[in-house]
Structure 1
Amino acid sequence: MGPAPSGHGSNLLDRTYLSYSGRDQPVITLAMDYRGTPPALDLLVGRVKERAACIPRLRAGTAALGSNVLGAAVSDIDKETGRISRSPFELVGGLPLWDVRLLEGKPGSAFFRVCFRAHHGFLDGVGATHAATALLPDEPGEGARLHPPTSPGVRGMARVLKDMACSLVHRSAWSPPHSAAPGHTDGRSVYRDVPVAVLRTYADTYGVSVNDVSLAALGLAFGDWQRDRVPAESRRDIVASVAMSTRTPQERHHAGNRLGVYRLKFPHRIESFAEAVSLVCRQTAKVRDTRQRDALRTALGAPVPPKLGVRAFSSLLNPQATPLVISSVSLPENHTLFGADLCAASMTLNVFANFPAYISFTRTPENVRCAAVSDPARNSVLAVPEHWANCLA
């Protein structure tokens, strides 16, 4: 890591992410799959350029707008997505820290993918969903749900401080072991889809949210995954950091990061779906009841000397402190691109040595896609989406 480029980074988390300015960068990729005929590249360039010029935070580097919309016909869309998701941005010269990639498959294929990419120092995942849905669809829409601010409670602040302290002292430290992971595409990421209707049935049965169902199935998947790979005496509870957006409706198109995390524990002895739902919901209910989102918003806005703040956030991004990050986003209904229907999507984050592994849930009207990303040293985590999908079968 080096110093954050001048002129970028409005808060300490932005500056921390922007300090990754070399070959390995925390690049966010929102990969959206469409059913239909790919549009001509010049049409996509024109739409993105016109709309980006109307969004102040996206039109920085206006002279380059349009040149950051690229297209390619490739034989393996997943493999190319993996490659570009690891491609770094040029952080000097005022160039945009986001771009759009149109990926077409075989000639005549009624399927294509559009990737919206951004450096994490420029935009977080929820912000990326709002940028993409403003720039791309035939009818511009909104991205993932945003939460109006309320007053933080004392218990919420206490939970934020406790979570931060536990991470900094590496309490419950855990890291995915190395092993070969069959069935993945580019050696660094893998995904599996489950119809939304399946998760909705579970949600209705247990009286919980679809997101809680995804997390409960993940808890079961972690148990299966450890039983396949880890000797009984070495199995451990997994403590993950779940990303929580603090972005408000007024900050819909603001650049930068508006997010924190809360710690979620997955006991390795979970044996039934009902038990998994109960364990997850008890924890997520406490997050809601204590208004931990608002406490995070307040804590992240506290005045801290920049060098000290960046050093603290960098320590939290070490996999010894944060082995695994989980995120969840959604995209709206009625999303079409030049007449082609959005059928699935995934959010990924480039993972490299000394950076947390990543699992995401991306919900579209048809599917929830579970994606896992790792570096080669921790690629056993790439088997988790298959276990997750099997738990919901």
Structure 2
Amino acid sequence: MTGPRTPLEATNATDATDTEAERMTHRLNPIDEVFLSMEGEVGLIHGQFLRFGGKPPPLKELHDHLAQRLPGLPGLTHRLTSSSGRQRREPADAFDPAAHLEEQEFPAGTLLDGVLTALVREPLPVNAPPWSMRLVHGYADGEFGICYRVHHSAEDGMGAAHVVSALFGDCGPVDGRRAAAGPRPLISGSMRELVRGTLSVGAGLGRALVPARAWPRAPKPRPERLGVCSAGATSNELRELSRRCGGTLNDAFLMTLWQALNDWSATGEGHLRSRLRTTPVAVRMPLSTRRPGEDALLGNHLTTTVVTLPARGTPFDVAFTQLAGRTRRMRAHGLRPASRALVGILPPALTRWTVRRLLSPQASPLYASNFSLPTALSFRGAPAVDVTPLGVLLPGNALSVTLLSHGEQVRISFLYDRALPEAEQLAGLWRAALDTLSASA
């Protein structure tokens, strides 16, 4: 399916001073440690695929570009070590981006989803910071792609968005010392928010341990079983749908997902599809606990919540009202500030136990995330014409969906286990659902 990949020979090496190493060494937080314990899960590598117009550059140009920008991104230049029973990040000795760079050529005419599927099956470098970048070309005339992927233990979705912005934005990354700094004050909400948020965490834990409708656990997929399908839209299409129904862009995303899942499960066999036909779908969504100015924080700073989509057959206006009400209550429950405080206050072992339970696949059959990138992304003066997200597949789930906004463009991608019948149709069904719901609204 793909052509040969050519590693770039190492050309530069940088050594941190003892003072810098001491300053830049820090512990993983308990959420990072949970994802690190899942390191063998092939679905826990996420990132973005950026497409640029023009002739693909030599790989050395991308290497030199990274060498200039990486000093301000310590998360990409740090390796994991163990100290006193806790994992820590510290600067990698003689780090060079060449170990993380490869060039990959596809046959002419390869569809974008075929390119993405091949990329998500690739492993990350071993015994090195857990990320990779590929210069991709050949699949289409007059364009090339750059694919950035990173393990979830190193970055959450917001962190990966910050890295891409720092690498390909108009401005370089912030000072590395600020990027390596620990979280700001833990208490970021009122006492009322903290109490309500703590109760929400407890309720979510209860639902994870004893779900009202337990979903089947999917077997661990092999790399060759992963698949990706994607579709595009404009931000205005989603905003217009949300305005007509009194919701947010995220509500419009979930409503179109609801319709696409209804259409996908309407026919065909398969245990999960049968359940989707008869049971309201519980969707797990990440919520960032970062405060303004904390985009550069390393690691995972998030919590999750479950949003139940409307029952199949519910009239559109009733369904949208139900969904908007559920997400509005979710935002008002103080879950973000409470989760932020609990991660910093509770013993790490208790936090790890709680996070693992909250990610239980029995409580929800899929993971859905929604984030954005800044408009001005470019390489060698060529603007990024399109950015497709590559999401994660949590252990025990067979399907996830990610929506990414980049300027006025929106891209959605579904990552799935190919054991799911006809899952490759989901992106097209989502695009059709957006058209149908926009017309009916």
Fold-level similarity (TM above 0.5): yes
Instruction: Report matched runs for 1:301-340 at 5 Å.
Output: 301-306=344-349, 308-340=350-382
Distance 1:311 1:303, change over 3 A: closer
Q: 2:133 aligns with which of 100, 121, 139?
A: 100
Instruction: Report matched runs for 1:249-288 at 5 Å.
Output: 249-288=292-331
Q: C-alpha distance in 2, partners of 1:26/1:114?
A: 19
Q: 1:83 aligns with which of 106, 118, 122?
A: 118
Distance 1:201 1:305, change over 3 A: closer
**Deviation by residue 1:248-277 (Cα, 9 ceiling, x = unmatched):** 234322221111111101123244443332
Offset at 1:163? Answer: 1.4
Q: 1:19 aligns with which of 31, 37, 45?
A: 37
- The one-letter amino acid paired with 1:66 is P
Q: C-alpha distance in 1, partners of 2:77/2:368?
A: 30
Task: Give the match's secondary structure for 1:188.
Answer: strand
- The one-letter amino acid paired with 2:47 is T
Aligned to 2:230: 191
Instruction: Report matched runs for 1:1-393 at 5 Å.
Output: 10-22=28-40, 24=42, 26-60=44-78, 61=92, 63-67=94-98, 68-75=100-107, 76=110, 78-90=113-125, 92=127, 95-106=128-139, 109-140=141-172, 149-151=188-190, 152-175=193-216, 188-229=227-268, 235-306=278-349, 308-351=350-393, 354-355=396-397, 357-378=399-420, 380-393=422-435
- The one-letter amino acid paired with 1:79 is G
Which structure 1 residue ranges, 5 or more long, are not aligned? 1-6, 179-184
Task: Give the match's secondary structure for 1:21.
Answer: coil
CA RMSD of aligned residues (A): 3.1
Q: C-alpha distance in 2, partners of 1:106/1:238?
A: 36
Identity %: 26
Q: C-alpha distance in 1, partners of 2:249/2:256?
A: 11
Aligned to 2:3: none
Instruction: Give yes or no for contact 2:310–2:323 (8 Å, CA) kept in 1.
Output: no
Which structure 2 residue ranges, 5 or more long, are not aligned? 1-24, 79-91, 175-183, 436-441
Task: Give the match's secondary structure for 1:215.
Answer: helix
Report the count of equivalent residues: 373
**What TM-score do the two structures reach when normalised by structure 2?**
0.75
The worse-fitting range, judged by mean Cα deviation, of 193-202 and 237-246 is 193-202
**What TM-score do the two structures reach when normalised by structure 1?**
0.84
Offset at 1:317? Answer: 3.6
- The one-letter amino acid paired with 2:329 is K
Distance 1:124 1:23, change over 3 A: closer
Q: C-alpha distance in 2, partners of 1:277/1:78?
A: 30
Instruction: Give yes or no for contact 2:59–2:103 (8 Å, CA) kept in 1.
Output: yes
- The one-letter amino acid paired with 1:97 is P
Distance 1:353 1:127, change over 3 A: closer
Q: C-alpha distance in 2, partners of 1:278/1:385?
A: 24
Offset at 1:91? Answer: 5.4
Offset at 1:141? Answer: 7.8
Q: C-alpha distance in 1, partners of 2:408/2:42?
A: 33
Q: C-alpha distance in 2, partners of 1:166/1:291?
A: 18
Instruction: Give yes or no for contact 1:240–1:325 (8 Å, CA) kept in 2.
Output: yes
Offset at 1:309? Answer: 4.1
Q: C-alpha distance in 2, partners of 1:309/1:137?
A: 35
Task: Give the match's secondary structure for 1:33.
Answer: strand
Task: Give the match's secondary structure for 2:345.
Answer: coil
Distance 1:251 1:65, change over 3 A: farther
Q: C-alpha distance in 2, partners of 1:337/1:346?
A: 16
- The one-letter amino acid paired with 2:33 is R
**Deviation by residue 1:22-80 (Cα, 9 ceiling, x = unmatched):** 37361112122233333332222111121111233333226333211322222235434
- The one-letter amino acid paired with 1:85 is V
Offset at 1:240? Answer: 1.0
Task: Give the match's secondary structure for 1:326.
Answer: strand
Q: C-alpha distance in 2, partners of 1:233/1:334?
A: 39
Distance 1:276 1:113, change over 3 A: farther
Q: C-alpha distance in 1, partners of 2:370/2:172?
A: 21
Q: C-alpha distance in 2, partners of 1:233/1:252?
A: 36
- The one-letter amino acid paired with 2:386 is A
